[in-house]
Every structure is written in C-alpha cells, then in structure tokens.
C-alpha cells in the first residue's frame, strides 16, 4: 500500500479571488488606503474608498460576529498588536500554552514581555490545575494568550472565570479556531470560539482554513482596543476613516493617535482580494474537513497503541488535521512508525521530536532556564500530527487509515517477535 497525494497542499484560491487579484494588479491599487491622502487622482479616491481590505474586514466580522476587525499581515502580528493594545510593558509576564506553535511565545517576546508557560493535559489543552497553581505563585502575571492549538479548545468558561477573578486580560489565538463553536448545542454566533477574550487573533497562512499565504485578523468588540489596533497596524493621519469595520466615534482615534506607534503590519489589497471570496466558503470547507476527520477517527479508534483524546465539553472538531497519541511504544518505535509511514506516503510529525517548532524546548529565545513542563514534554513525545488537506477524498482517508494500521502492525510485530525470542526489543 502506498499513498501518493501531498499532505502539504493548501486550499486553492477560488476563481473569484483570482479575478479580483488580476483586476487589482491591472490598476495597481495594492495599498489598502489607496490615494486618499496626498493622492493626485480624485477619481481613485472615490472609486476605491471601499478597499478590498476594508470590505474583507467587514465580511470577516459578519462571519465571526465581532463588532470590529482589523486585517494584518499575520496572526503573529495580530497577537503582538493585541498585547500592545492591552498595555503590556517591557518585562511584563504573559501566560501562554506550553503546547502551541512558536509564533505565540514569539509575539510575547516581540512585545518585550516574558512568556510564562502553562502545562497541557492529555486532551492537548490547558491543564486547569497547573493554571490555578501558576496564578497563585505568580500573581504579577496579568495577561494570557490562550492558544487553541490545532483546534483543541481548553475549558473556556472556567479559564474566563479565573481570569476575571484575578484580573488577567485574555487574548485568544484562534489560528486554528475559525468557525469552531465552544458549545455546539447552541448555534449562536457568540458561541464561536473567540468570544471569551477581549481580542481574538486569526491566521490566513496557507495551512489554515483561509489561505492567502500570509495574513491575519484582530477581532474585538471593544471600541478602544479596536481604535488602538487600527492605528498600530499602520493607519496614520485620517486613514482610519477608510475602515468599514471600526468604531464610529472619531475622538477614539484622535485622542490617542499621536501616542500610538505605526508598526506597518497592514494587509495589502492583493492579499484581501484572494481572501474575500473564501469567507463564503468557510462553512463548506469545515464540513468537508469534518466528514473526513470523523471517518479517520472511526478507523483509528479501535487500533491498539492509538489513543485519540475526546474534546472537552461540547467543543467540536473542525478537522483540518488530526492528532493522536501512540501509547505503549518507546521512542525508537515511534521514530520507526514515522519513518515507515513516510515511506508509504503518509506524512506524520511527532510534536516532541527534533527541531519541531511546536516543542517548547526549542523556544530557547524565550527563557534563560528550561521551563519544567513535565506533562507537556511527555504528551508531545507521543503526539502525532496528520494534516488532512481539503483535496483528500473519503477513499484517500480509508487508504491512510489502512496504511497506519499496517505500519503499526509492522512496528509492533517486531516487538512481539523480539519478545518471543527473548531479545531486548530495542
Ligand atoms: C499558524 C499559527 C500561528 C501563527 O500564524 P501566522 O499567521 O503564521 O503568524 C499561531 N498560532 C497557531 C496555533 C498557529 O497554528
């Protein structure tokens, strides 16, 4: 058995997006603010008052249900601006997940702050007991970037309650949270992940549901935070007036604008042109992911050595990737499993191996002393990650499942044989 499709395929750009982009390139209007200030051509000022980026921000806010949305060049930038908007000062400490992607602690370091890591439990989410302990031990930490890593949603209600109780300001990293509901029994917009925090940050990097290569969003219901984020992303003079998804009170901007740095992290119209027609495809993409994700879970769940954690509460899986734990196998066997799977065309990564950017031990830029994250280290040492691109079919999923089964048999058979022969299994 061999699988031949690529596990790295991004979502293709729909033809509407391609046409938008070509039209834009013909007239060259790639800067989101067009010609409004210092422009020489009045006609442009009028026709391009609603730029692609502004229209995208409005469409995105209509999807997520946030009042205000600011488009930026990445989710990392979004988190950095969010921290600045909330008033993070140099050497302030910020809680975040020990299991997440390196862009998250990096955004904290970018803001000259210090990440304080919280252990993940065996459902890949924040370990609430460890979080409570850390709150008690480090009462000076007043911010928290909660990452919904790989779409695994921590207990949002409990975390929110703890944050409120201890005066901790919450930011959600929704790079993998777009379109996910916290309480799936209730289909209200506000049950989308991203509504427990003051600011939610999204990514449109190619491996996320929306694909523009690079890109991100800041989403909030708070008008002061929105004004700060619009200015900090790179809106100067009167340009904030061109935003369609902004607080209407100009004083919110005028009062602070001379005190807010311009970090030049704007999204360009070209990026927005390929993104905007993807907004209406989000639900369709999620349904397609879900169908295949659930099928693979069904196939894998009765295999020995594989354990797939249940989501907590009613959080639902969106499923553009699948994570499972290999239990009862040592490191050599796990490496062997990864290698043999790759030989059969199934690309699996283990988070806690080698230079993986999702292993906290590799974030040495963020600490002087290695944080003691025993549980997280243990979990990521056996946690496997499998991307499930939209291009895969249900038949592809069946084949992937069969290959995983076959490889596990091979890997564990030799263990059995060795044991029978009375030889050490490594
Ligand atoms: C991709 C990702 C990010 C960073 O997104 P960029 O847009 O590349 O900055 C942040 N957090 C998680 C969990 C991610 O997967």
Which of 80, 83, 98, 101 most suits a substitution to test ligand 1, by most atoms within 8 Å of the C-beta? 101
How confident is the model at residue 312, as a pLDDT? 85
Determine the angle formed by the axes of helices 269-279 and 52-64, rounding to 10 degrees.
Answer: 30
Point out the ligand 1 atom lying closest to the alpha carbon of residue 173. 11
The answer to whether the CB of 82 falls within 8 A of the CB of 202 is no
What parts of the chain have a pLDDT lower than 50? 36-48
Which is it for the CA torsion 276, 279, 284, 289, positive or negative?
A: positive
Domains, the chain, ranges and CATH?
15-280 (3.40.640.10), 282-420 (3.90.1150.10)
User: How far, rounded to the nearest angstrom, does the alpha carbon of residue 286 sit from its chain's CA centroid?
Assistant: 15
pLDDT in tens, 78-96: 999 999 999 999 999 999 9
Average pLDDT, rounded, for the chain: 93
78 lines ligand 1 (CB under 6 A): no
Residue 84 is given by DSSP the state H
Give the residue whose CA is nearest to atom 13 of ligand 1: 149
How confident is the model at residue 413, as a pLDDT? 84
From CA 349, how far away is CA 88, in angstroms rounded? 35
410 membership: H or E segment, kind and range: helix 394-421
How confident is the model at residue 183, as a pLDDT? 76
CA distances from residue 107 to 50, 74, 173, 337 in whole angstroms, order as listed: 30, 11, 11, 34
How confident is the model at residue 181, as a pLDDT? 87
Kindly give the distance from the C-alpha atom of residue 49 to the centroid of ligand 1, in angstroms, as a whole number. Answer: 31
Retrieve residue 372's tokens. Answer: 């003691």
From CA 212, how far away is CA 214, in angstroms rounded? 5
pLDDT in tens, 202-244: 999 999 999 999 999 999 999 999 999 999 999 999 999 999 9
Retrieve residue 199's tokens. Answer: 């600011």
172 lines ligand 1 (CB under 6 A): no
How confident is the model at residue 164, as a pLDDT? 98
């Amino acid at each position: 058995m061999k699988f031949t499709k690529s596990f790295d395929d991004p979502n293709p750009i729909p033809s509407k997006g391609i046409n938008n982009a070509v039209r834009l390139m013909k007239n060259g209007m790639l800067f989101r603010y067009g010609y409004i200030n210092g422009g020489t051509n009045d006609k442009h000022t009028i026709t391009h008052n609603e730029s692609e980026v502004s229209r995208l921000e409005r469409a995105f806010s209509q999807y997520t249900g946030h009042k205000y949305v600011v488009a930026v060049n990445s989710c990392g930038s979004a988190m950095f601006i969010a921290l600045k908007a909330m008033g993070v000062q140099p050497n302030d400490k910020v809680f975040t997940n020990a299991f997440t992607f390196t862009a998250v602690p990096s955004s904290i370091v970018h803001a000259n702050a210090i990440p304080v890591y919280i252990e993940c439990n065996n459902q890949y989410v924040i370990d609430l007991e460890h979080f409570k302990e850390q709150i008690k031990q480090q009462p000076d930490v007043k911010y928290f970037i909660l990452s919904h890593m790989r779409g695994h949603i921590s207990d949002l209600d409990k975390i929110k309650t703890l944050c409120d109780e201890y005066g901790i300001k919450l930011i959600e990293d929704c790079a993998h949270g777009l379109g996910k509901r916290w309480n799936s029994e209730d289909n209200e917009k506000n049950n989308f992940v991203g509504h427990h925090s003051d600011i939610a940050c999204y990514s449109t990097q190619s491996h996320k549901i929306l694909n523009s290569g690079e890109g991100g969003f800041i989403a909030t219901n708070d008008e002061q935070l929105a004004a700060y984020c619009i200015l900090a992303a790179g809106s100067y003079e009167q340009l904030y007036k061109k935003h369609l998804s902004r607080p209407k009170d100009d004083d919110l901007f005028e009062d602070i604008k001379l005190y807010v740095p311009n970090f030049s992290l704007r999204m360009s119209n070209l990026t927005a042109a390929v993104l905007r027609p993807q907004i209406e495809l989000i639900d369709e993409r999620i349904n397609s992911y879900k169908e295949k994700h659930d099928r693979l879970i069904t196939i894998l769940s009765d295999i020995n050595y594989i354990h797939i954690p249940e989501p907590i509460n009613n959080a639902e899986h969106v499923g553009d990737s699948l994570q499972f734990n290999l239990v009862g196998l040592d490191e050599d066997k796990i490496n062997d499993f990864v290698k043999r799977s790759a030989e059969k065309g199934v690309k699996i990564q283990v988070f806690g191996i080698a230079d993986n950017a999702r292993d906290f031990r590799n974030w040495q830029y963020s600490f002087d002393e290695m944080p003691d994250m025993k549980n997280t280290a243990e979990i990521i040492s056996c946690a496997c990650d499998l991307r499930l691109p939209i291009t895969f079919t249900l038949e592809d999923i069946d084949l992937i499942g069969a290959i995983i089964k076959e490889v596990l048999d091979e890997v564990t058979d030799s263990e059995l044989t060795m044991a029978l022969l009375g030889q050490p299994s490594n």
